[in-house]
Structure formats: C-alpha cells, structure tokens
Amino acid sequence: MRVTVFGATGLLGKALTRKWTDDDLSGLGSKDTDIRDPKQVSNVLERTRPDWIVLAAAYTDVDGCEQNREHAFDVNFRGALNVAQAAKQFASRLLFLSTDYVFDGAKNSPYETTDPRAPLNVYGLSKAEAEVQIIQVLPECCILRTSWLFGIDGKCFPDTILKLAASRPAIDVVDDQRGSPTYTADLARVIIRLCRADARGIVHATNRDNCSWFEFAREIIADARLSATVRPTPSDHFVRPAQRPKYSVLSSKSLEKYGIEMPNWQDAVRRYLQDRN
C-alpha cells in the first residue's frame, strides 16, 4: 500500500512515520508541501500516487486560531479541501484528523459520532466546517476525531507540566474541563489499522477513560516521581482567547466496530515517560 502523510513533521506525524514501516510511505512537512496551495498538493499526489492519504497537517494552536481566524481557515478548512479535491482527482482514500473541539461540551456523557457539531472556538469551527465539506467531496472518506494529544516529538501538555514541575514547588491546573488524553504512539497504530481496514465515515479514537487537566497533571507528576504539588483551579482563573468545552469525552463505539481498543490514558502516560527518556 502506498501512503502519503501530510503533516509528517508534527507531533502525530512523527509518530506515524516511525510506526508505519510495512508500507510505502511518503511523509511531507509544511516545508515540503503547503496544503494552502492546490497546485503543490496536486503535484505531490501526482508523484506519490497514494492509495491512502493521512491529513495530519493543521494549525492546532487553539488560542492562536482565535486571534488569527483567517490563517486558521486557510490551513484547517481551505487547505484540507485542497487535499480532499486532489485525493478525488487521483482516486486516493483520505483519512482526515479532526478534533473533540467540534463539540460544545454541553453533554455529560461521551460524544457519539452522530452528535451535532457545535464548536465554541475558531479552531473547532475550522475543523467542523472542513469535516462537512470533505464529506461532500469524498463521501467514502474517514474522519478521525481525537483529543488532548501528547507525544515525545514536540510541545504538549505533559512536556509543559514536567518543565514546570522541575522549577516550581506547586502548579495550578484547570479542574473543570474533562476529556481523554491520547498518546500519539497509540493513535498512530490505530490510524494504520483503520487504513488497512478500509475505514470510512466518522470514527472517534482516544485512549480509554477520561480525566480533568488537573488529574492528568497529577498522574504525570506522580509517575515521574517529582515532588511538585498540583493544585486544582477553575478555568476562569486562566483567561485565554479561546473558549474550551467543559466536557469533550469521545465515545469509543465507532472504533470498537473495527475491533480496536486503545489502552487507558494512565498506561499511555507511563509509556510516554519511558519513551521520552
């Protein structure tokens, strides 16, 4: 199978290129191809002729998106559509990475793939609108929503917590937002399996179980055997440009249909700490 990954130099993309060893994979970063330019995208696919495209390239700075809406839509919406249209041109399958932030957090039970999109912020809106339009272009595509990504290949929440814990006796962390941390190494394995299973439609994939950011941070500190104290605090103590959903846990039912079960997030944290050493 021939695979082209857009966003191969990002947090998830690096995990994908490391795990995906049994197929003919072309990994492209933003310096190789600017997905905002349809001609660049078309030229790449004409050369690689992939069976599957994984679109992991995105502008994921949630607060940055809020302050730069045009850039967010250029990359996350128009750029994604460029890839979808080129995929149709070259008869390639597409797996598009999306987000829990397409939901507003008003539920108190895990979001199903059929729940209505209702994003609270520009990042979520750019992804939600991309989902809708990509499905119009490629009805057989796979939309893979995930949440709270972390990995060894770049900046992420555990990395930030570890750095803060090394220099402070106490850390205040938000305790009124709930979701499911997802380790890029685990998500990469899922993506490979979904492509090989000819997946289509919307799929939710996160590590099992859920927590608040405070509980996530507390687990990281405990597993790393650091002495810093983690203190719960409400999100209104941290004024940020973009509003976040209070609850964005994703149901695993759509993933279980493919016979896939991900490890729980606590296990993922332990492996992350081992892998980064």
Distance, CA of 47 to CA of 51 (rounded, Å) = 12
Q: Which of 157, 173, 168, 183 is nearest to 235 (CA)?
A: 173
Rounded to 5 degrees, φ, ψ at 161 are -60, -45
Distance, CA of 170 to CA of 245 (rounded, Å) = 26
Angle at 16 between CA 11 and CA 21, to 5 degrees: 150
Cα within 13 Å of Cα(141), Cβ side = 29
| Candidate list 101, 111, 123, 183, residue with the active-site label | 123
Q: By three-state DSSP, how is residue 214 classified? A: helix
Residue 130's contacts (CB-CB under 8 Å, 6 or more residues apart) are: 76, 77, 80, 81, 96, 98
Residue 272: active-site member: no
Active site residues: 123
